Amino acid sequence: MYQKDFLEQVRTQLTVQEDPAKLRERTFETSSGIPLKNSYTPADLAEFDPLKDLGAPGKFPFTRHVQPSGYRGRLWTMRQYAGFATAEESNARYRYLLEQGTTGLSVAFDLPTQIGMDPDHAMALGEVGKVGVSISSIHDMRRLFQDIPLDKVSTSMTINAPAAVLLALYLAVAEEQGVRLDQVSGTIQNDILKEYMARGTYIFPPRQSLRLITDIFAFCADQVPNWNTISISGYHIREAGCTAAQEIAFTLGDGIAYVQAALDAGLKLEAFAPRLSFFFNAHNQFFEEVAKFRAARRLWARIMKERFKTTDAKSQMLRFHTQTAGSTLTAQQPDNNIVRTTVQAMAAVCGGTQSLHTNSRDEALALPTEVSARIALRTQQILAFESRVADVVDPFAGSYFVESLTDELEARAMALLAKVDELGGMVSAIEKGFPQREIQNAAYAYQKAVEKGEQVVVGVNRFTVTGEPKPDLLRVDEALGAQRRTQIAAVRAGRDQAAVDTRLAALRDAAAGTENLMPHILAAVKTEATVGEICDTLRGVFGEYQEQLVF
């Protein structure tokens, strides 16, 4: 009886037709407020010159792709984001994903780790291992990458405020494996500015945080040349509710701030600019997303050429990772999320992403199960090997519609960047609350549209069903917190405390001066100093950032 009733609900939903009167009343526009015409013609691109404005793939301004052959030479990296509970459990998931064909790892850390606290900190209570893996010492990092050769696997780590510490732990484990630092490849997010405007896992004030970032730039340029030292992230800005145009503007605005900070610190542009990478969201409006990636690539190339005067092609290229939009996933009818993720992933591929994470269907409810993670990975593999959408570089090039959207998104992003410049740059703009207000207003407008039914969310405000079967979910053991507190106590009891104290004192002195902090942090983690202890040492010198209320 239940099955019959459920199927009848589905049949009823499928018969719903759009009211012609309502259709006439609808406003057709993108997330950025760009009005959409019924159709597009050459007149919509009156100033468009394909040879001048498009160029060739792999050539300035890189609108079409950063590589001349697109994905023919090499597919995007299929990098599934994962991490939960203990290092041992996350290691098992990584090895499972590698066995299933993923080509890069991406580490999710729990909230205490993200804000530089050990699992025995009072504020860590109830959060250990919940949204990522708990890492506090070199012992944890060893277990996280046990039996995973770090000279063969590229690893991305989504970590920001304590990025220098987690990078040091990773490098220390690579050295223990006998891997030279110039053989290590991967990415740390290391993008603190978006934390102040959209996410909140910051520790230190902005200007002190920028020092840590530029220290990482300098250290890796010399010691770890294949490491991407920052992943400048529009993803979290979009997750907070901004539009596609705002995502371009605020992401590239952060990029400008990082480049300028590195130059002010005395670094040569070509020493770090080729290792900058970006991280974008792939949202639901397919054509706007394809145009967004193209516009961002073109605008960044022009910024690097015109503002920073570089003629080095690698320094002009915008290389980016993409993740499908977590904010679009619904707890209702979670299998619908597979379809959403597929559309978003295809937009990222058609837009020329260098690596991609596809979200799992159950992530609006819990951390993904192995089955859900496998479906997400298979989505990428089907796109790559069955759909053949990757066979041609920039397949929408020359489309009246996509070229018009690309131009309009670039223009709107440039207008926002001009406002940021008027405010004194991105750090000053954040301190004055400008990007925060823009994001908040966009998020509010979207939510109101959903509540009014103007923005349809399938399974939420339209095409709903009752009596859905409940999916199997992954649960993190509530005893994990106590287990991790015991482990960290054992680490402290078994180490050479005098060596730890010496290294932390040296770090404190260096932070009070102008030395590069990365060698001191690397030395500290090798003595088994913890993430929390290192971050507390820096807190003692830099202080902590207190969020300013923005109205």
- Alpha-carbon separation of residue 538 from 28, 124, 156, 205, 512 (angstroms): 51, 19, 24, 11, 9
Measured in degrees and rounded to the nearest 5, phi and psi for residue 280 equal -115, 160
Indicate the residue type of 485: R
- Alpha-carbon separation of residue 312 from 57, 218, 269, 404, 433 (angstroms): 16, 19, 10, 29, 34
Identify the three-state secondary structure at position 413: helix
Residue among 161, 210, 165, 160 nearest 188 (CA): 160
Q: Report the C-alpha gap between 340 and 267 in whole angstroms.
A: 42
Are 390 and 70 in contact by the 8 Å Cβ rule? The answer is yes
* 147: confidence class by pLDDT, cuts 50, 70, 90: very high
Higher pLDDT, 46 or 501: 501
As a whole-number percent, the residues of the chain with pLDDT over 90 amount to 86
Q: Indicate whether 22 pLDDT > 60.
A: no
Q: What does the block give as tokens for 8? A: 């009848």
- Alpha-carbon separation of residue 65 from 61, 104, 127, 390, 521 (angstroms): 9, 21, 41, 12, 37
> Residue 79 pairs with which residues in a beta bridge?
104
Q: Which pLDDT does position 473 carry in this prediction?
A: 86
Task: Find the mean pLDDT for residues 118-129.
Answer: 95
Q: Report the C-alpha gap between 279 and 259 in whole angstroms.
A: 16
Q: How many CB atoms lie within 10 A of CB 305?
A: 17
Residue among 199, 278, 545, 253 nearest 427 (CA): 253
Number of H helices, E strands in the chain: 22, 9
Q: What is the DSSP letter of 207?
A: H
- Helix axis angle for 400-422 and 244-264, nearest 10°, is 50
* 343: confidence class by pLDDT, cuts 50, 70, 90: very high
Q: Could you tell me the sign of the dihedral formed by the alpha carbons of 209, 204, 531, 231, in that order?
A: negative
Tokens 């405000």 appear where? 461
Q: Which pLDDT does position 8 carry in this prediction?
A: 57
Q: Which pLDDT does position 21 carry in this prediction?
A: 54
**The CATH fold of domain 63-452:** TIM Barrel (3.20.20)
- Cis peptide bond prior to 149, omega within 30° of 0: no
As a whole-number percent, the residues of the chain with pLDDT over 70 amount to 93
- Helix axis angle for 336-350 and 286-302, nearest 10°, is 30
Q: Report the C-alpha gap between 62 and 55 in whole angstroms.
A: 8
Indicate the residue type of 110: D
Residue 309 CB-density burial (10 A; 0-12 exposed, 13-18 middle, 19+ buried): exposed
> What is the H or E stretch that residue 81 is in?
strand 77-82
pTM of the model: 0.91
Q: Report the C-alpha gap between 43 and 403 in whole angstroms.
A: 12
Q: What does the block give as tokens for 439? A: 């994001």
Q: Indicate whether 16 pLDDT > 50.
A: no
Are 265 and 214 in contact by the 8 Å Cβ rule? The answer is yes
- For the ranges 23-27, 414-418, 545-549, the maximum mean pLDDT occurs at 414-418
Are 188 and 161 in contact by the 8 Å Cβ rule? The answer is no
The pLDDT tens digits of the residues spanning 464-500 come to 998 888 888 888 888 899 999 999 999 999 999 999 9
Are 457 and 329 in contact by the 8 Å Cβ rule? The answer is no
| Cβ-based neighbours of 15, under 8 Å, separated by 6 or more | none
The pLDDT tens digits of the residues spanning 161-200 come to 999 999 999 999 999 999 999 999 999 999 999 999 999 9
Q: Which pLDDT does position 14 carry in this prediction?
A: 47
Q: Report the C-alpha gap between 352 and 348 in whole angstroms.
A: 6
The pLDDT tens digits of the residues spanning 23-79 come to 455 679 999 999 999 999 988 887 766 656 688 999 999 999 999 999 998 999 998
Q: Report the C-alpha gap between 539 and 523 in whole angstroms.
A: 18
Q: Are strands 355-357 and 77-82 parallel, antiparallel or unpaired?
A: parallel
The pLDDT tens digits of the residues spanning 194-246 come to 999 999 999 999 999 999 999 999 999 999 999 999 999 999 999 999 999 99
Q: What does the block give as tokens for 5? A: 């009733």
Indicate the residue type of 289: E
Are 241 and 440 in contact by the 8 Å Cβ rule? The answer is yes
Q: Indicate whether 151 pLDDT > 60.
A: yes
Q: Could you tell me the sign of the dihedral formed by the alpha carbons of 383, 387, 389, 392, in that order?
A: positive
The pLDDT tens digits of the residues spanning 312-334 come to 999 999 999 999 999 999 999 99
Residue 357 CB-density burial (10 A; 0-12 exposed, 13-18 middle, 19+ buried): buried
Q: Which pLDDT does position 2 carry in this prediction?
A: 42
Q: Indicate whether 10 pLDDT > 70.
A: no
Q: What does the block give as tokens for 29? A: 């526009």
Residue among 529, 416, 334, 464 nearest 32 (CA): 416
Q: Indicate whether 305 pLDDT > 70.
A: yes
* 5: confidence class by pLDDT, cuts 50, 70, 90: low
Q: Report the C-alpha gap between 42 and 65 in whole angstroms.
A: 23
- Alpha-carbon separation of residue 479 from 104, 126, 144, 367 (angstroms): 31, 10, 20, 17
